[in-house]
Amino acid sequence: MNLISMQHNKVTVSVIGASGYSGAELVKLLMKHPGVAVEELYAHTQAGKRFTDLYPSIPCDKVFQTYSGQTDSDLYFLALPHGEALQLVPGIVAAGKKVIDLSGDFRLTSIAEHKHFYGGDKSAEDVLQYGMPELFRDEIVGSTAISNPGCYATSIILGLAPLFRGGMAGLAVESVNVTAISGISGAGRSSKLELSFSEMSGNMRAYKVGKHQHTPEIMQTLGASATDPSFRFVMTPMIAPYVRGIYSVLNVRLASPVAMDAIRELYARFYANAPFVRLRDGVTEVSHVAHTNFCDVSLAFESDGSLVIITAIDNLVKGAAGQAVQNMNLMLGFDETAALL
């Protein structure tokens, strides 16, 4: 029997955890995808309600179900709190279905780092192919199960990857200092007093300083380790009173001077075949990428010779649902940009 069953010649997909912001963004993108049919939406706390009851602006008449091990669809997206996908993904994969998980459960290869940064246990087998198309396109094409990158990690890795993976002779990084600012939607849909309008309006604050769970993911993808770093890495995540977007300012100290023309050429070459990475001549802004799957990158040098890289993404699209659909497109042989442009 063909691995991919067809519903009106379309691949069938379901979303587990469809009531949260990332899950809803997934539904919105999947509903307009020409090659897939949305089969079921699962959300235990919202079971029995219609999707449009929660998100009236998205035209989907599906009713939320409780997930209890169903494996009828060809591909499953999981947009669940950390720790929950560990219990579900093995059964879905064993049933011969494709999986894209948006949590951090399967990203880290180091069990010790996973325990330290996520606070839970997992086995050495609980690692899936990391789904960043700009870096691992060939591996994603041949995969049946993908671990979707985190939002901060996406904005920071795409800003740094050419320096670490671009193969430029004589280029070495001594330190990276990151200030990354997220919109409030990055904290999820659940109600929290500290994220209420009265607490956040006109306010900004840092959080998880020194122990953000995306730090080991970033270091791992750059070929380093959070617990035994080969270069100094400092990340300060912040939250600001806007809804969506991540704005990352990366101050990079290079071991020796490199001309700006050479840096720009390196980035242009590295992302030549990346349809969703745009190099900006001026300074990028969150508004340039909101509601899109783009990551915009700006480059400049400080007067002291340090390289400043600024990136902007939409945390719910390129930082979550859009990148998941981009991964699905590669896995299933669709055009990489389907439903995303």
Q: Which residues are catalytic?
A: 151
Determine how β-strand 98-101 pairs with β-strand 129-130: unpaired
Tokens linked to 153: 């990690």
**Residue 286 in contact with residue 340, Cβ under 8 Å?**
no
What number of other Cβ atoms are within 10 A of residue 221's Cβ? 22
Distances (CA, A) of 87 to 69, 82, 94, 132, 299: 10, 11, 12, 23, 42
CA nearest to 200, candidates 188, 212, 183, 186:
183
Backbone angles phi, psi at 280, to 5 degrees: -95, 140
Q: Which amino acid is at 94?
A: A
Taking the C-alpha atoms of residue 140 and residue 142, their distance in angstroms, rounded to an integer, is: 5
**Residue 77 in contact with residue 64, Cβ under 8 Å?**
no
CA nearest to 80, candidates 110, 106, 52, 98:
106
Q: Which helix (H) or strand (E) holds 212?
A: none
Contacts of residue 285, Cβ cutoff 8 Å, sequence gap at least 6 = 247, 312
**Residue 133 in contact with residue 157, Cβ under 8 Å?**
no
What is the sign of the dihedral through the CA atoms of 89, 245, 32 and 18? positive
